[in-house]
Homo-oligomer: A and B are copies of this chain.
Amino acid sequence: MEQTTPTQQPKKLFTNKPKRFNNRRTFDRGRKPPHPGGPIDIMAEPLEKKTAHIPAPLPGVIRVIPLGGVEEIGKNMTVIEIGDDIIVIDAGMHFANENTPGIDYVIPNTRYLEERKDKIRALIITHGHLDHIGGVPLVLSRIGNPPVYSRNLTILMTQKRQAEFSHLPPMNPIIVETDQTVKIGELTIKFWGVTHTIPDSMGIIIETPYGNIVTPGDYKLDQVDGIVSEREEQEYAQFDNANNLLLLTDSTNIENEGFSLAEIKVHQGIEAILRREKNNRIFIAAFASHITRLIRIVEIAEELGKKIVVEGRSMKTNIDVITQAGLLKPSKGLIIPVEDIEKYPPDRILVLITGAQGEEFGALNRAANKTNKKLTLRKGDRIILSASVIPGNERQVQAMKDGLSRQGVKIISYRTPGEDFVHATGHGNKEDIKWLHRKMHAKFFVPIHGHHYHLELHKELAMELGMLEANIVVPDNGSIIEITHDGTKIGVRKEKAPSSPMMVDGFSVGDEQNVVIRDRQMLAEDGMFVVMAVIDQKTGMLRKSPDIISRGFVYLKENQELLRQTRILTKRTIEASSKNLNPNNLDNIKNIVGETISKYLLQKTAKRPLVIPVILLM
């Protein structure tokens, strides 16, 4: 007979969990390494066509579907469908959060595209950030692997992402430049350069008979104190006399007044700090994706005669990619391995490090927790947190700062009073957005990135700028927007493209994980409680006292009496109803036992564990 000892927590012999569960931040963003490249999608593909009821757009109609990015920040993906051609813009991801325990990350729903593969001519990427490229490998493999168009650095970043999925077919990249016009299917497409935190960011212009569809991707203006640079004016000059039909753009910072802080002010701020704190080791924790800043920091460090240590996987990867792209040309010996850090005096050390969000396994957080074997902080070290705190990460960032401050370091963050600027957003604020609308003077407007509230505020702003309400659509993920009547009307179809997020959960990718996630949430709240009994089929009596397996419910060691009473109650409940039993009505007994035990446990503990009765007839 099964010998679970119900008086102690069963040993966790079989789980082999690494240090992942150190009682902190289990549901962190980015807590897991990216997809390890194993066999994707063990699920059977559902055969049923889920979008068959959605007709193809009529001739002359322009269809636009945001498949991701409009009910969230992240997982951007927008579909443009005209005639026989579908163009997909971006294929991003976002990280899981406390509502999606155990999930690795989330990508847009691709069903609409999967069922129209033969029409898909291209995936065009605006820039190389994960919220625009993170879903590329999985999306490409689902939509027939169309060619991927973008500028050089973006293609390199996307290939790096693709390389994490080595079992998937390689992508077919086509590098474009901003002075190029490409013909994709029947469509003529052009590009222009925009300012973001990563070089080679570009906007997209799709020509149509009624005018252009334009989207800048993520952008801010290259301006200082509201004066837009000449370079930027030149990039946008082509729109002055353009016939723009539809503007698709970002609402992330619609709540922020004024123009976004110029990145150059941050470069100046960081340089000033480096010059002022010249006797101390400097750690700069920045987003590894903030390529523009990384490049400038490396330059400043070289000017000041410092050696650079690069810490954290994504930071190393990105420094490699931008070096390969020729955007960074560090002189020999400038970047040193972390092992050599003690060979130089403090005033010669600058560490570029990941983990400004307090991510559980981020290099800086491990240093804060003293679990970073390669890197030990010292009293007097200066830690520049050159990043904003992503909403939802506040508590983990606070915990990291607490850990850092215990080690006698000085933390300089964008909240530190009197310090120079150490961070600026990469997205345009309200004035940047207004400038864009005026420059584009498009007939129609669809906001394609942000939470719903942001989109509504953006709509209000567009109306303040003179746009008609009827010419604006605030979409949801999956909204099928159409421009009809020779480009004079915009509206939303009554059908909707499937839009529930695709969850990447280990090797599985699917949009039907809700049941699994709900169970995880229940288990996380109250744990589980398996009660097992074997009924003697001759006597209807139990062969022995029931066994109990429970995890995550109560501290069993201190609840022996509860377990004893539960066993007695189980035995009594079964034996009261097991007269003339046959295997066919075991289910009934299971139901009774489950209900009885659930009620009893709730009454005694105020907890509702997932009760699973296992009853055998032998």
Contact = CB atoms under 8 A, between A and B. Distances in A.
Contact of A101 (B2, B9, B525): B525
Interface in A93-112: 97-99, 101-102
B15 A518 contact: no
Interface stretch (A137-145, A238-246, A283-291, A508-516): A508-516
Nearest to A562: B42
Interface residues of A, number: 109
A398 interface: yes
Contact of A23 (B99, B523, B552): B99
A394 interface: yes
A530 interface: yes
Interface string A462-502: 00000000000000000000000000000000000000000
Nearest to A597: B14
A43 B4 contact: no
Interface in A385-443: 391-392, 394-395, 398-399, 401-402, 404-406, 411, 415, 417, 430
A534 B616 contact: yes
A440 to B, nearest CB: 23
Nearest to A527: B520
Contact of A527 (B257, B392, B516, B586): B516
Interface stretch (A324-332, A342-350, A604-612): A604-612
Contact of A98 (B25, B559, B597, B615): B25
Q: How many copies does the complex hold?
A: 2
A451 B401 contact: yes
Interface in A519-563: 519-528, 530, 532, 534, 549, 551-555, 558-559, 561-562
Contact of A1 (B523, B583, B597): B583
Given A530-B530, A559-B43, A618-B618, A13 B452 contact: no
Nearest to A41: B558
A44 interface: yes
A180 interface: no
Given A610-B12, A616-B534, A552 B391 contact: no
A505 interface: yes
A255 interface: yes
A508 B605 contact: yes
A250 interface: no
A53 to B, nearest CB: 23
Given A3-B583, A527-B102, A507 B16 contact: no
Interface stretch (A61-69, A300-308, A333-341, A587-595): A587-595
A15 B599 CA distance: 9
B21 A522 contact: yes
A10 interface: yes
Nearest to A99: B24
A254 to B, nearest CB: 10
A456 B618 CA distance: 66
A616 B558 contact: no
A13 B595 contact: yes
A27 interface: yes
A598 B15 contact: yes
Interface in A16-55: 16-17, 20-21, 23-27, 36, 38-39, 42-44
B395 A586 contact: no
A555 B102 CA distance: 13
**Among the interface residues A521, A554, A595, which one has the most CB atoms of the partner chain B within 10 A?**
A521
Contacts of A530: 530, 549, 612, 614
Contact of A551 (B391, B417, B523): B523
A236 interface: no
A71 interface: yes
A165 interface: no
B507 A604 contact: yes
Given A44-B561, A399-B451, A522-B552, 13 more contacts: A1-B583, A2-B586, A14-B612, A14-B613, A15-B598, A16-B608, A21-B518, A21-B525, A257-B417, A401-B453, A516-B554, A520-B552, A521-B524
Interface of A: 1-4, 9-10, 12-17, 20-21, 23-27, 36, 38-39, 42-44, 71, 97-99, 101-102, 255, 257, 391-392, 394-395, 398-399, 401-402, 404-406, 411, 415, 417, 430, 451-453, 456, 505-508, 510, 512-528, 530, 532, 534, 549, 551-555, 558-559, 561-562, 583, 586-587, 591, 594-595, 597-598, 604-608, 610-618
26 contacts: A3-B583, A13-B591, A14-B611, A14-B612, A15-B522, A17-B522, A25-B99, A26-B99, A26-B524, A42-B559, A42-B604, A102-B525, A102-B552, A102-B607, A255-B417, A257-B417, A392-B395, A401-B451, A411-B453, A508-B555, A510-B558, A516-B553, A519-B527, A523-B524, A528-B528, A618-B618
The 6 closest A-B pairs by CB, nearest first: A14-B594, A506-B606, A524-B524, A391-B394, A523-B523, A519-B552
